[in-house]
Structure 1
Amino acid sequence: MPFSALGLSSLVVAAANKKLYIQPTPIQSAAIPLILRGDDVLAQAATGSGKTAAFALPLLQLVQTAQRKVLILVPTRELAVQVGEEIKGLVKHLPVAIKVVSVFGGVSINPQMMALRGHADVLVATPGRLLDLIKQNAIKPESFNTLVLDEADRLLDMGFSDEINRILALLPAQRQNLFFSATFPVDVSALAEGILQNPSKIVMEVNEANTPNILQRAIAVDESRRAELLAQMIIDSGEERALVFVASKVITEQLARYLSSAGIKAAPFHGEFSQGRRSQVLAEFKSSNLQVVVATDLAGRGIDIDNLPCVINFDLPRSPADYTHRIGRTARAGGSGVAISLVSASSEAHFRLLENRLKMRVPREQIAGFEPQEVVTTTEQGTGGIKSHRMSKKDKLRAAAAQKQDE
Structure 2
Amino acid sequence: MSVHDEDENENGEMSIIDNNLEMNNEDNGGGMEVEEEDDEPFTIIRNETDDTVKKKKYLYRLPEWMSTNAVLFNAGDLTNDDVDDQNEIEQLEYIDNDICSILVNDLSIRRLFPVQKQLIPYIIKQSKTITCVPPSDICVSSPTGTGKTLTYVIPLLQCIRHRITKSIQILIILPVQDLAEQVFNVISVFTKKLNLNAALICGGKYSFEFEQNLLLKKQLDGTYTCPVDIVVCTPGRLVEHLTKTHGFNLEHLRYLVIDEADRIIDEFKQDWLQILESSIFTRIHTNRIHPKDFQPSMMSLGNMRQNSYQKLLFSATLTHNPEILQQLNLFRPILFSDNKRTSSAVSVPSNLKEYYLVCNILYKPLTVAYLIQNQLHSERIIIFVHSKNDVNRLYSLLKILLPDQTKLTFISRHLNMKKIQTRLNLFENGQIQIIVCSDIMARGIDISNIDCVILYDLPRNIRTYIHRVGRTARAGKHGTSLTLVEKERLNLFRLNIKSKRGKKLKYMNVTKENYEHMFNDYQQALETFSQQQQHSSKKTRQKRHT
- Determine if the alignment matches structure 1 residue 130 to structure 2 residue 238: yes
Give yes or no for contact 2:170–2:253 (8 Å, CA) kept in 1.
yes
Task: Give the equivalent residue in structure 1 for 2:379.
Answer: 240
From the superposition, tell whether residues 268 and 47 of structure 1 become closer, same or farther in structure 2 (CA, over 3 Å).
Answer: same
Query: Within 1, Cα distance between the matches of 2:396 and 2:231?
Result: 38
After the TM superposition, which of the residue ranges 337-346 and 270-279 deviates more from structure 2? 270-279
Query: Within 1, Cα distance between the matches of 2:180 and 2:103?
Result: 20
Task: Give the equivalent residue in structure 2 for 1:151.
Answer: 260
Task: Give the equivalent residue in structure 2 for 1:389.
Answer: none
Task: Give the equivalent residue in structure 1 for 2:338.
Answer: 204
Q: Residues 374-389 of structure 1: matches in 2 within 5 Å?
A: none
After the TM superposition, which of the residue ranges 59-68 and 215-224 deviates more from structure 2? 59-68
TM-score (norm 2): 0.62
Pick 1 or 2: higher relative contact order, CA cutoff 8 A, min separation 6: 2
Which residue of 154, 166, 170 maps to 1:57? 154
Query: Within 1, Cα distance between the matches of 2:439 and 2:122?
Result: 32
Structure 2's unaligned 5+ residue stretches are: 1-85, 128-134, 218-226, 282-289, 291-307, 342-347, 517-546
Query: Within 1, Cα distance between the matches of 2:184 and 2:149?
Result: 10
Task: Give the equivalent residue in structure 2 for 1:23.
Answer: 111
The residue type paired with residue 365 of structure 1 is M
Task: Give the equivalent residue in structure 1 for 2:180.
Answer: 80
- Determine if the alignment matches structure 1 residue 217 to structure 2 residue 355: yes
Task: Give the equivalent residue in structure 2 for 1:120.
Answer: 228
> How many angstroms does 1:52 deviate by?
0.8
Give yes or no for contact 1:103–1:125 (8 Å, CA) kept in 2.
yes
Query: Within 2, Cα distance between the matches of 1:348 and 1:177?
Result: 40
- Determine if the alignment matches structure 1 residue 355 to structure 2 residue 355: no
Query: Within 2, Cα distance between the matches of 1:270 and 1:161?
Result: 28
Query: Within 2, Cα distance between the matches of 1:244 and 1:91?
Result: 36
Give yes or no for contact 2:270–2:328 (8 Å, CA) kept in 1.
no
Output one character per residue of 1:16-67: Cα deviation in whole Å (capped at 9) or x when no partner.
2222222221111111122221342111111111111111100110121345
Query: Within 2, Cα distance between the matches of 1:336 and 1:320?
Result: 21
Query: Within 1, Cα distance between the matches of 2:238 and 2:392?
Result: 31
Query: Within 2, Cα distance between the matches of 1:168 and 1:297?
Result: 31
The residue type paired with residue 146 of structure 1 is Y
Q: Residues 221-370 of structure 1: matches in 2 within 5 Å?
A: 221-236=359-374, 237-262=376-401, 263=404, 264-353=406-495, 354-367=497-510, 369=512
- Determine if the alignment matches structure 1 residue 105 to structure 2 residue 203: yes
Output one character per residue of 1:304-355: Cα deviation in whole Å (capped at 9) or x when no partner.
1011111110001111111111111101111111111112211211221211
> How many angstroms does 1:259 deviate by?
2.2
Give yes or no for contact 1:249–1:270 (8 Å, CA) kept in 2.
yes
Give yes or no for contact 1:222–1:345 (8 Å, CA) kept in 2.
yes
Query: Within 2, Cα distance between the matches of 1:104 and 1:205?
Result: 35
From the superposition, tell whether residues 195 and 372 of structure 1 become closer, same or farther in structure 2 (CA, over 3 Å).
Answer: farther
Query: Within 2, Cα distance between the matches of 1:140 and 1:297?
Result: 34
Q: Secondary structure at the match of 1:153?
A: helix
Query: Within 2, Cα distance between the matches of 1:15 and 1:368?
Result: 51
Query: Within 1, Cα distance between the matches of 2:419 and 2:232?
Result: 21
The residue type paired with residue 14 of structure 1 is S
> How many angstroms does 1:287 deviate by?
2.6
Give the root-mean-square deviation of aligned CA atoms: 2.8
Give yes or no for contact 1:42–1:192 (8 Å, CA) kept in 2.
no
Give yes or no for contact 2:319–2:325 (8 Å, CA) kept in 1.
no
Query: Within 1, Cα distance between the matches of 2:427 and 2:506?
Result: 30
> How many angstroms does 1:134 deviate by?
3.4
Query: Within 1, Cα distance between the matches of 2:323 and 2:361?
Result: 37
Output one character per residue of 1:88-142: Cα deviation in whole Å (capped at 9) or x when no partner.
22334x3x32112223234342544454455222211111122233344284333
> How many angstroms does 1:176 deviate by?
1.5
Output one character per residue of 1:209-236: Cα deviation in whole Å (capped at 9) or x when no partner.
x934111111222111111121232344
The residue type paired with residue 249 of structure 2 is K
From the superposition, tell whether residues 371 and 350 of structure 1 become closer, same or farther in structure 2 (CA, over 3 Å).
Answer: farther
From the superposition, tell whether residues 299 and 16 of structure 1 become closer, same or farther in structure 2 (CA, over 3 Å).
Answer: closer
> How many angstroms does 1:78 deviate by?
1.6
From the superposition, tell whether residues 324 and 282 of structure 1 become closer, same or farther in structure 2 (CA, over 3 Å).
Answer: same
Task: Give the equivalent residue in structure 1 for 2:169.
Answer: 69
After the TM superposition, which of the residue ranges 221-230 and 14-23 deviates more from structure 2? 14-23
Query: Within 1, Cα distance between the matches of 2:415 and 2:115?
Result: 34
Structure 1's unaligned 5+ residue stretches are: 374-407
Work out the percentage of aligned pairs sharing the same amino acid.
27
Q: Which has the larger radius of gyration?
A: 2
Aligned residues: 370
Give yes or no for contact 2:367–2:515 (8 Å, CA) kept in 1.
no
